A and B are shown apart, each in its own frame.
Chain A
Amino acid sequence: MTRYLGMSLLLGPLLVVSAWAQNSTLDEIARYRAQLQDGNPAELWEARGEDMWKQKRGPKQVSLEQCDLGKGRGVVKGAYAEMPRYFADADRVMDLETRLLHCMMTVQGFSKTDATRRVFGSGSNRSDFEALAAWITSESKGVVMKVSLNHPKAQRAYELGEKAFYFRGGPHDFSCATCHAEDNKRIRLQDLPNLTQKKGAQLGYTTWPAYRVSQGELRTFQWRLYDCFRQQRFPELEFASELSIALTTFLAYNANGAAFNAPAIKR
Chain B
Amino acid sequence: MKPVYWALPAVVSVLVAAGCATGPRQMEAVTVEDLKIIKASFRAQGQAGLDRLDQDEAQKHCSNPPTVTIAKELAARIEKANFAAIQYPADGNLMGDWRAGERIAQTGVGMQFSDNPKTPSGGNCYACHQVSKEEISFGTIGPSLYNYGKLRGGASPEMQRYTYGRIYNSQAFTACSNMPRFGHNGILTEEQIKDVTALLLDPNSPVNK
Contact = CB atoms under 8 A, between A and B. Distances in A.
A169 B54 contact: yes
A159 B192 CA distance: 41
B27 A170 contact: no
B54 A196 contact: no
A22 B127 contact: no
Given A1-B107, A233-B111, A242-B37, A171 B52 contact: yes
Given A235-B48, A235-B53, A242 B41 contact: yes
Interface in B18-51: 27-28, 30, 34, 37-38, 40-45, 48-50
Nearest to A170: B52
B185 A173 contact: yes
Contacts of A1: 106-109, 124
Contacts of A188: 126-127, 137-139
The residue in B38, B111, B113, B114 that gathers the most chain A C-beta atoms within 10 A of its C-beta is B38
Contact of A235 (B30, B45, B171, B185): B45
Contacts of B106: 1
Interface stretch (B60-68, B145-153, B157-165): B60-68
Contacts of A179: 141
A177 B66 contact: yes
Contacts of A174: 180
Nearest to A196: B65
> How many of chain A's residues touch chain B, expressed as a range?
35 or more
A111 interface: no
Interface string B107-145: 111011110000000001011100000001111110000
A238 B64 contact: no
Determine chain B's interface SS by DSSP, over half rule: loop
Contact of A163 (B34, B52, B113, B114): B34
Interface string A226-267: 000111011111100111101000000000000000000000
Q: Which of B41, B109, B178, B186 lies at the interface centre, i.e. has the most chain A CB atoms within 10 A of its CB?
A: B41
Contact of A22 (B44, B53, B55, B136): B136
A153 B29 CA distance: 19
Nearest to B138: A188
Q: Is the interface of A mostly helix, strand, loop or mixed?
A: mixed
A189 interface: yes
Contacts of A173: 58-59, 62, 171, 178, 180-181, 185
Contacts of A4: 137
Contact of A25 (B66, B124, B136, B181): B136
A236 B45 contact: yes
A228 to B, nearest CB: 11
Contact of B65 (A22, A164, A177): A177
Contacts of B44: 235-236
A186 B127 CA distance: 8
Nearest to B112: A230
Sorted nearest first, the 4 A-B pairs with minimum C-beta distance are: A243-B41, A241-B41, A236-B45, A235-B42
Interface of B: 2, 27-28, 30, 34, 37-38, 40-45, 48-50, 52-55, 58-59, 62-66, 106-109, 111-114, 124, 126-128, 136-141, 171, 178, 180-181, 185-187
